[in-house]
Amino acid sequence: MRTHEPVGPVDHSFWMCSLLVDDPTQRDPLRTYLAEQEIETRPFFPPAHFMPHCRANIILPVAESLSSRGINLPSYPGLTPEQLERICDAVSSFFRSHLT
């Protein structure tokens, strides 16, 4: 596992714990599977050039790829080690059962 690295002399807030799937078609089934396990997730934000107030008729392949493949997992100060292990186990379980 790799976390976001701080840039410069700052303290990282680790606000979001993000996960990228290799194939964009895996993202929503993973989110559904985690929801069935009562683990809330949310997809990455859409790229700014897709949002109505910033709409632009351009192609930004990296932003579009990240947006289509990413989810944010639960992360907050009260998350217990047991809850963290349950989340990790559920993600691992999805990939063991769906990629074999």
Buried b (16+ CB within 10 A) or exposed e, 10-21: eeeeeeebebeb
DSSP string of 66-92, one letter each residue: HHHHEEEE---TT--HHHHHHHHHHHH
* Cα dihedral 21, 83, 13, 11 sign: negative
CA 52, CA 68: separation in Å to the nearest integer?
18
Q: How far out from the chain centre does Cα 81 lie?
A: 19
Token pair for 34: 């985690």
pTM of whole model > 0.75?
Answer: yes
Domain 18-98 belongs to what topology?
A: Aspartate Aminotransferase, domain 1 (3.90.1150)
pLDDT single digits (tens) 72-87: 999 887 889 999 999 9
Sheet with 17-20, edge to edge strand ranges: 17-20, 70-73, 42-43
pLDDT at 88: 93
pLDDT single digits (tens) 23-75: 999 999 999 999 999 999 999 999 999 998 988 999 999 999 999 999 999 98
Residue 2 — very low, low, confident or very high, per pLDDT cuts 50/70/90?
Answer: low
| Domain spans, the chain | 18-98
pLDDT at 62: 94
